[in-house]
Amino acid sequence: MTQSSPRLTTLPAWQKLRLHYEQISGLHMRDLFAREPDRFTNFSIGWEDFFLDYSKNQITSETMELLVELARECSVPDAMERMFNGEKINNTEDREVLHTALRSDINKPYVIASGDDVMPEVRTELEKMKVFCETVHNGSHTGYTGKVISAVVNIGIGGSDLGPHMVVKALEHYKKDIETHFVSNVDDADIAETLKKVDPETTLFIISSKTFTTWETLTNAHSARAWFLRSGADEDALAKHFVAVSSNISAATDFGIKEENIFEFWDWVGGRYSMWSAIGLSIALAVGYDRFSEFLAGAHSMDRHFRETPLEKNIPVILGLLGVWYNNFFEADTQAIIPYDQYLKYLPAYLQQADMESNGKRVTRHGEEVNYTTGPIIWGTTGTNGQHAYFQLLHQGTRLIPADFITAVESLNDIGEHHRLLVANFLAQTEALVRGMNVSEVKVELKKSGLSDEEIEKILPHKVFPGNHPTNTLVYQKLTPYNLGALIAMYEHKIFVQGVIWDINSFDQWGVELGKRLAKIIYDELEDNEPIDTHGQSTRGLINYFKRKSPQVS
């Protein structure tokens, strides 16, 4: 590792932000709102069907000016151009980062820094997906006994699962007459329980793996194939029921998938950024290719917003900078994602990989150990459920937890008062989080309820809400494929901005390798019941415990 230190904390804007933090960190947002009548207008952005209110943050106009200055000093605009232009910004893997090309206008060339136009290959694969989806939907691609395909099982993990899974759930309202299942975990319960729900004659398996070497995925794929063959189908029938999505064509053919049944994507698409490629096949099958196209179009529109809008009014940039503000100056460890939209149930899980695998890095792009914190811990669940689970800690706990509150203006289901109730809760929570309830307000309330002074003194500290908790409120008109595409692209770009500020490579993931290597060794060691004397004391003790307690291998 090199000895030089990263430059981020020496930048003028960073130093100014340090001082500025000292000045404003004691302020209460109540006071900021009281003295700034235009705060809501000044700290909000409308774009297409989206509205972002970021006024409920511990910021002033000076904060935002300094954060934008920081973005400039870190060359965020230049980094964006390098990504969009297909320079090899994934420097540790010597790769371009071009998920934006996958959702670009297919009728226009996308010429990258090397001089290549990537659009012809993108177009070919999209066309192949389109034709395939049409044949499944119109019943011309049937199962081997002639029955229509009524279930799809996507077998993949990480980026080959989380994105499509989240999107298929999010677009459930638009779903075709086809059930989509996702199997990711190597735990046999996942595949076993899924196979109980499907019929081999009417099920299509998609083996999704960029590398086609991922152990979990290949194990599940082999089990699915064995189950299929056990049902009475012969090897020739496999072609009608197993397709693959991969950048490793030879490994997929070695597995037994016919080349015409392989949908390709490329090294320049990162796994966690791959749902826009053929990895989105399960999405296109679930909702139809046209909806999938709208989903790509929404993401493309957000790409253009990101690339073309001044930093001050640029949604992903603003969200990224606010994240840096809390992460590095307030030392907030986590970031909550709270969709008040049941369809976005899996958004937090998807963002965990998108954000934490991207920005969970401890050295800069040049290998220097960072002297500041990088990626936050991402977590969350849907509202209103979270209100009845962890919101107590948000309101009265000791930690500062910035939170994104996300919802739709219009519901997709017009049933009674549900949506109004949902929105009321959504708005109430961010108000409660910012405003809180101080000692005198609590006293007045308790007095009104008829408590004695002595009783009030006792209960008072428990009833006080400090408030001043930061939230972003993000609202879209309704959850369409287009708006969903834009929403996800927004988060991708937010993560990118933060990676640029922290000067890390957001596109590799070397940290996942060690565990994979050790698992291979331990897997072999678990083959029999003979005790081993390798590994450290604790792992050795545990391996031997499993060996003693597992059924004897004959």
Residues designated as active site: 357, 388, 516
- Burial string for 46-69 (b: 16+ CB within 10 Å, else e) reads ebebbbbbbbbbbbbeebbebbbb
Distance CA 188, CA 192 (A): 6
> By CB under 6 A, is residue 209 in contact with ligand F6P?
yes
Looking only at the bridges linking them, the beta strands covering 242-246 and 377-379 are unpaired
Cβ-proximal residues to 472 (8 Å cutoff; 6+ apart), any chain: 52, 53, 54, 56, 57, 319, 322, 402, 403, 404, 405
Window of 99-107, 154-162, 167-175, 337-345 that interacts with ligand F6P by CB under 6 A: 154-162
Q: Can you tell me the distance from the alpha carbon of 19 to that of 510, in angstroms, rounded to the nearest whole number?
A: 35
CB of 210 to ligand F6P, least distance (A): 4
- Closest separation between CB of residue 106 and ligand F6P, Å? 24
**Residue from 86, 158, 298, 339 in contact with ligand F6P (CB under 6 A):** 158
Q: Which of 57, 180, 214, 407 binds ligand F6P (CB under 6 A)?
A: 214
Task: Kindly identify the residues of this chain, within the stretch 496-515, that bind ligand F6P according to CB under 6 A.
Answer: 509, 512
Q: CA–CA separation, 256 vs 227, rounded Å? A: 15
* Binding to ligand F6P in span 262-281, by CB under 6 A: 271-272
Q: Single out the segment in contact with ligand F6P by CB under 6 A; choices: 158-166, 325-333, 365-373, 403-411.
A: 158-166
DSSP states along 413-452 = S--TTHHHHHHHHHHHHHHHHHH-B-HHHHHHHHHHTT--
How many C-beta atoms surround the C-beta of residue 183 within 10 A? 24
Residue 19 binds ligand F6P (CB under 6 A): no
Cβ-contact 263, 281 below 8 angstroms: yes
* Distance from C-alpha of 103 to C-alpha of 546, rounded to nearest angstrom: 48
Q: Which residue, 328 or 509, has its beta carbon nearer to ligand F6P?
A: 509
Q: Does 361 bind ligand F6P (CB under 6 A)?
A: no
Tell me which of 160, 220, 498, 505 binds ligand F6P, using CB under 6 A: 160
Residue 480 interacting with ligand F6P (CB under 6 A): no
Q: Does 293 bind ligand F6P (CB under 6 A)?
A: no
Q: Which of 160, 430 has the CB closer to ligand F6P?
A: 160
Scanning 7-15, 54-62, 151-159, 450-458 for contacts with ligand F6P by CB under 6 A, the matching segment is 151-159
CA–CA gap between residue 270 and residue 490 (Å, rounded): 17
Q: Which residue in 60, 203, 217, 327 binds ligand F6P (CB under 6 A)?
A: 217
Determine, following the binding rule CB under 6 A, whether residue 250 of this chain makes contact with ligand F6P.
no
3-state percent breakdown (helix, strand, coil) of the chain, nearest 5: 55, 10, 35
Q: Is 359 in the site for ligand F6P (CB under 6 A)?
A: no
Termini Cα distance of the chain:
49
Q: What's the closest the beta carbon of residue 91 comes to ligand F6P, in angstroms?
A: 17
Write out the residues near ligand F6P by the rule CB under 6 A.
157-160, 209-211, 214, 217, 271-272, 357, 509, 512
